[in-house]
Amino acid sequence: MVESVKTLAALRRHIASLEGIPAMEAGAPVATGHGLFDQALQGGLARGRLHELFGGDEDEGAAAGLSLILAHLAAGDLPLFWLRLAKGAGVQPYGPGLAELGIDPARLLIGAMKDEALLLRAAVDALRCPALGALVIELRGGAPLMDLTASRRLALAAETSGVTAFILRIGGDPVPSAAETRWRVEAAPSLPLPGNAPGLSAFSLHLLRRRSGPDGMTWRMVWNAERGDFGEECDERHEHGWASGGRAEEAALPGAVVPLPGGRSAAHRAA
């Protein structure tokens, strides 16, 4: 059965190439533009693999924003799909805010599922479609159905189709998983722009686990939407504070991560 699925996926990729649709090569690195990060991961995050990003309730916006940005990088010009529960959903994507991050809102599809079981089944089906660029799977709290068996199904589907999957865990604790990498995401301070304008979106990204390589490292990632990468900032003093394990001394403004509609409170807007 597995071989037939792989054969079908290969045939779909061949048809996509004939139709001019860019094919995603599973395992190929997705470069982020952050030199040290990409070097540590042998070129970047592996495409066509399952990655987990954990964020606490206070860092929900940062975790969601980074998941979408990484999905955007992995997808190229192909569509993005965000699966979440219909009830209890947290931050809501806001079109102009996505555009500010360099993500075309027209490329983002959102599926709201009534329960976790349906969400995970839909995730496997979505990952089997090679016309999709990347998938974000949002789970909140304990997510009891997201066990090792469920993660293996997702990982196999991603490897077969070449579609990259990001499990966005809000308020949950890590459990055994088939994910290629596992991360802890927090909002990070950003340097203000000229005129004391809010700085670029910044994240603290800690590698909790990696299937094939060392872990335990932490990077400060600053997203430059104009360039479309996480290239390091020019302020060497600021970077040195993070490289040595501490935070920079300069007062900094938090970068907005997932800008929200005007009806949300200011507390929900901050990263």
Domain count, the chain: 1
Amino acid residing at 233? E
Mean pLDDT in residue range 101-114:
93
CA distances from 57 to 37, 62, 172, 237, 256 (A): 25, 10, 9, 30, 16
- Predicted local confidence at residue 183, as pLDDT: 98
- What's the rounded Cα separation, in Å, for the pair 215 and 83? 28
Predicted local distance difference test score (pLDDT) of residue 15: 44
Residue 93 confidence class, pLDDT cut points 50, 70, 90: confident
78-87, 144-153, 246-255: which range is least confident on average? 246-255
Provide the domain limits for residue 17: 2-269
**Residue 259 pLDDT more than 50?**
no
Average pLDDT, the chain: 80
Nearby residues of 221 by Cβ (< 8 Å), 6 or more positions away: 32, 34, 37, 66, 188, 202, 203, 204, 205, 230
C-alpha 263 chain-centroid distance: 26
Residue 85: CATH number of its domain:
3.40.50.300
| pLDDT at res. 196 | 73
Looking at the whole model, is its pTM more than 0.75?
Answer: yes
Rounded CA-CA distance 6/10 in Å is 6
pLDDT tens, residue by residue, 40-59: 999 999 999 999 999 998 99
Task: Tell me how far apart the alpha carbons of residues 94 and 258 are, in angstroms, rounded to a whole number.
Answer: 7
Name 207's Cβ contacts closer than 8 Å, sequence gap at least 6.
Answer: 181, 182, 183, 215, 216, 217, 218
- Given this model, what pLDDT does residue 254 score? 35
